[in-house]
Structure 1
Amino acid sequence: MTFTLGTKEAASMQGLKIIVTVTMIMLVTGCANFRHLAKEVDMLDNIYVEYRVIIESQHETESFVFIQLQEPSANTIDGYEVVIGNQPITVTGDSMSQYLFTFNDANNDLRFQVGEAFSVIALPEEADKPLQLQLSNTQGNYPQALVDRPLINLLNVKFSPAKIGEMATLAAPQFDRESANLGMWKPVTHLKQGNSGVFFLDDFDKSKIPVLFIHGMNGAARDFEPIIAKVDRQKYQIWVMNYPSGLPLELLANGLNSLIKIIDYRYDVKTLHLVAHSMGGLVTQGYLDLCRNQLGCDDIASFTSISSPFGGVESAQSGLDYAPVVMPAWRDLAPNSEFIAKLFTDRFTGHEDDFSRPPHQLIFGYRVSGIINKKSSDGVISLDSQLRDRAQQQADRIYGLNEDHVSILANDNLAKALHEFWQTSEQAHKANTQ
């Protein structure tokens, strides 16, 4: 079985759940996909490196920007991330970057100004120990070329950076099934081609509440077309996240965290609804765990997950055990993975915490079709995984629909549940933020 969570291919299978074996993987996907995946995994290892960062600062709720540089005097940057709070932070960097420039973005404009506390350190060859940063505004060795310049204009990366706020329609090629498949088997190529980011389906309107849709594995923004057609566009504006689903979920959660922080700054968003299908729910929950730890979820009014495998996917473990090449996402999707174990908890202390937790509507499907299925499921994801105890305990509303993994997105009652939950959440969000 290819891991087609959240795709239209699942509908064509008419609900038949096929157990993953090496033979079936090779028959369905072909050897070429694994050859491509092997090259992509090598490229991924050569491009990305993760650093654990601890900021020695009293600015517990301030904004911090992390910038990767080739040299402190460079006129361009390799990439940047934005976080809120001085808790331990994971920064994903370019493996070729030599320096990390960090500053406290006191006025939230995504530009460095003289007087803002900062730090410049050389990055170690091995990222096994946390980087201890001490910010100061009394130093004079800040990167001169970065002073008061928009960071987005300084990016010089090996692949196309994630798009933020680019206008698109659901008919756009980056939302095609071919692009979705590319994102699963050739995720780095997907990034290089500029298919990833948060795209706007409507002109930005400050008077309308944004709804961000996040697809699942081997999915694309177009999967949400049936829901989007039923959204009240007089009140809401539609945003979609498109991403290569073969990447590690931890990396995707960090990327979503950074994207939303940048959007907050650029568009001054005060209220945002998140709607995620299948694996997208895991990416979104991973993001929410991160931003709660950073005290940065104030703008999130609600989170709705649809058919999400919060308990993991058993077939992902089979992929780890038997596939000739392991897709990075499978490691996080496996039921016993560290990523699954940490969902719904503080990312660093490991404790469950309701602080700054946006209301969560957990929607699950339970239509089983075919004679092969042995467990209760929606034809792809087991009920046991969709209804993981910890997910239920933290959910504000749990709602089941007699639909399979794909048909659920076209259910009229789903659209109704979304609008009702948004309305209730907006009222609570407004009361909490005044």
Structure 2
Amino acid sequence: MMKHIQINSCSPKAMLRPFRISIDGRSILSVIMCFVFSGCAFMALEKDIALLEQRAHLQGTISNPSPHQKPIIVLAYQLLDADKKLVAYHVQHRPGIFQFIRIPGRYRIAAFEDANEDLVYQPTEWAGYVGNGSILTVKPGEELLHLDLTLKPPDEVTLAEAPNLTSPATKAQLDFSKIQAGEIVSIEDPRFSQENGKQGLWEPIQFLRQVGGGVYFLEPFDSEKIPVVFVHGAGGHPGNWASLIHQLDRTLYQPWVFYYPSGLRLNLCAEFLAEKLRKVFIGNKLNKNKIVVMAHSMGGLVSRSLVNMIVEEDVEQKFRVLFLTLSTPWGGHQAAQMGV
């Protein structure tokens, strides 16, 4: 069940400041400089978006019938002519959804249960391959979303690559390792800055690599409190919500903030939010089936897909969602006519 309330205002602080324009030499120069530097920013953003649209989305679900239930290492190998290179990996503390965002190419995806938690595969550990080790040929922008994998006992599967993630020769990166799902932070966290919010708008890939983003808690999880998920707008950051969060009744509600690079396509931002909330809910069970989503501007468009997903999946209508949006451009924005 979902209820939506739209509030028309310019920002989370709900303040408008009067301004005046004067036309003189310095003003004209400022306008010219603004267009020059904005043009550079648009070129950088266009490059990032073009790169993202070339990248493929590999996603699947891992099942682990092992009796040990230890962390799972998911590995992405790229096949380059006669060479095979480990290009990315995930560490998952429980079975479930995994995903990689990679450039086009030929890949093989493997996984093993790290029974002694040393990041080194031993032949005595449960393991498996997607498609029994078949090669995945990935095209630009392709989405392979059903790459399911079930770990098998060591007498059935052995990883020929024998991955050792502690070796200096291993140059693979933990795929977007800075992306969080449930980290406890302060609303004054230095990552929540205007500079980073701007980077998320104009350089979304660099934002994911350097800042990360995700869903953050502002206090330890409490199953009795109703989550309020705050979603910022274009070029924003969670700190924009500080004044509202400070006035929240913390005896009834627990604030969560979603931090994302707003320069990504809307559908990617929405998938990003949905995936991180899924991980949060997997590890934290609510006694009260209620959630509040509070979104500003573009954040409302990002959140709409999440809210629709909750409503569609909740066939018994046991989950109640209050969806509050602030100045969300449901009918589009006039800046779109200028190519913004």
User: What's the TM-score bracket when you normalise by the shorter of the two chains?
Assistant: 0.5 to 0.7
Q: Does the alignment pair 1:170 with 2:187?
A: yes
Distance 2:106 2:242 in 1: 43
Aligned-partner residue type, residue 107 of structure 2 = Y
The percent identity for this pair of structures is 21
Counterpart in 1 of 2:224?
A: 207
Counterpart in 1 of 2:107?
A: 99
Deviation of 1:162 after TM superposition, in Å, equals 1.3
Counterpart in 1 of 2:121?
A: none
Q: Which has the higher strand share?
A: 2
CA contact (8 A) 1:79 1:94 kept: no
Any idea what SS the aligned residue of 1:204 has?
Answer: coil
Distance 1:9 1:236 in 2: 22
Deviation of 1:250 after TM superposition, in Å, equals 0.8
**Match of residue 306, structure 1, among 316, 322, 325:** 325
1:23-102 to structure 2, matched below 5 A, reads: 29-46=34-51, 49-51=55-57, 69-71=76-78, 77-78=88-89, 93-95=101-103, 98-99=106-107, 101=109
Deviation of 1:167 after TM superposition, in Å, equals 2.6
Q: Does the alignment pair 1:287 with 2:287?
A: no
Distance 2:313 2:96 in 1: 5
Deviation of 1:249 after TM superposition, in Å, equals 1.0
Counterpart in 2 of 1:108?
A: none
TM-score, scaled to structure 2: 0.62
1:276-312 CA deviation, whole Å, 9 max, x = no partner? Answer: 1221111011223345566699896313232353533
CA contact (8 A) 1:51 1:127 kept: no
Counterpart in 2 of 1:222?
A: 239
Q: Are residues 54 and 297 of structure 1, via their aligned partners in 2, closer, same or farther at CA, if it must alter by over 3 Å?
A: farther
Q: Are residues 7 and 205 of structure 1, via their aligned partners in 2, closer, same or farther at CA, if it must alter by over 3 Å?
A: closer
Any idea what SS the aligned residue of 1:170 has?
Answer: coil
Distance 1:316 1:98 in 2: 40
Q: Return the structure number with greater relative CO, CA threshold 8 A, min gap 6.
A: 2
Counterpart in 1 of 2:295?
A: 276
CA contact (8 A) 2:104 2:138 kept: no
Deviation of 1:211 after TM superposition, in Å, equals 1.7
Distance 2:194 2:90 in 1: 29
Any idea what SS the aligned residue of 2:137 has?
Answer: coil
Distance 1:296 1:278 in 2: 29
Q: Superposition RMSD on alpha carbons, in Å?
A: 5.0
Aligned-partner residue type, residue 70 of structure 1 = Y
Q: Does the alignment pair 1:192 with 2:209?
A: yes
Consecutive unaligned residues of structure 2, counting only runs of 5 or more, are: 1-8, 22-27, 62-71, 112-124, 164-171
Q: Which has the higher helix share?
A: 1
Q: Are residues 165 and 255 of structure 1, via their aligned partners in 2, closer, same or farther at CA, if it must alter by over 3 Å?
A: same
Any idea what SS the aligned residue of 2:224 has?
Answer: coil
Any idea what SS the aligned residue of 1:237 has?
Answer: strand
Deviation of 1:239 after TM superposition, in Å, equals 1.2
Distance 1:159 1:226 in 2: 30
Distance 1:226 1:33 in 2: 30
Any idea what SS the aligned residue of 1:70 has?
Answer: strand
CA contact (8 A) 1:159 1:191 kept: yes
Distance 1:130 1:168 in 2: 33
